[in-house]
Structure 1
Amino acid sequence: MSHPAPYPARLADEITRQLGQLADHLAQLPPPQAAHVIARVLDPDTGVLGGITHLVATGSLFAKDQAERGALPAEVWLALGRASNELGDIALDLDEHKHALQHASTQPSTTTAARPAPAPLVVRRHR
């Protein structure tokens, strides 16, 4: 019995293509709209990052089952599990900044308004 792999593979290819299109659009958006898109993408529950984290976690469960059967090395399962955990941690770290992104998305994009003072780009992480 064969598995219907062509559709999921095409779906993965299409999602990858659309993510590339989204990145291209993002690079051209005015700052408030870009902040809005970034906030939606990074939403840990309903955004792309949350979806990718869920996908990798599902892959980890598959790899665990296959590793227990001897079809995959245990290192594959461990690597996917670690990636899933790290993506989850990244999503939580970025979720802390959700309100700043939402605030930036509501600011008008006018060139006559006073520009905010630039912030230093070296910041210590708080954990």
Structure 2
Amino acid sequence: MSHPAPYPVRLADEITRQLGQLADHLAQLPPHQAAQVIARVLDPETGVLGGITHLVATGSVFAKDQAERGALPPEVWLALGRASNELHDISLDLDEHKDTLQHVGTQPATIAATTPAPAPLVVRRHR
């Protein structure tokens, strides 16, 4: 007889499933609604990206404790720490575009009288 997965494992599976559903919906939304969803997902404080960053940082603390006890190789802790730092940096990079996404998300769904000009997709990053 198989044992049911503990609640946190089921919760992780459910969140993963719902993220897949959200991605499927996002692909079909009109631009203004897609921008609203993306802005919420990317919010570093209350969004999915911020939550995942916090989760990975918490996993890094766990892995550090286990590595110090010899239960995990130190490379696991280092990898989780790097991932946490990278996610944090990504959140900061994306946060500067949050207002733009929110602005696009509040625009009416009607087609503007003038078509926006396409922008070149090669842009230099600044920090």
1:57-84 Cα deviation digits (max 9, x unpaired) = 0000000000000000000000000000
1:13-71 Cα deviation digits (max 9, x unpaired) = 00000000000111111111100000000000000000000000000000000000000
1:78 alignment partner in structure 2:
78
Separation (CA, whole Å) in 2 of partners of 1:111 and 1:92: 32
- The structural deviation recorded for 1:111 is 3.3
Separation (CA, whole Å) in 2 of partners of 1:58 and 1:46: 16
Aligned counterparts, 1:54-73, within 5 A? 54-73=54-73
Change (3 A) 1:94 1:112: closer
1:16 alignment partner in structure 2:
16
Separation (CA, whole Å) in 1 of partners of 2:106 and 2:114: 16
1:109 alignment partner in structure 2:
109
How many residues matched?
Answer: 124
- The structural deviation recorded for 1:112 is 5.5
User: Which letter does structure 2 place at the counterpart of 1:34?
Assistant: A
Question: What secondary structure sits across from 1:28 in the alignment?
Answer: coil
Unaligned runs of 5+ in 1: none
Asked if 1:6 corresponds to 2:3, the answer is no
TM-score (norm 2): 0.94
Unaligned runs of 5+ in 2: none
Separation (CA, whole Å) in 2 of partners of 1:90 and 1:112: 32
2:121 alignment partner in structure 1:
121
**Aligned-residue CA RMSD (Å):** 1.3
Question: What secondary structure sits across from 1:75 in the alignment?
Answer: helix
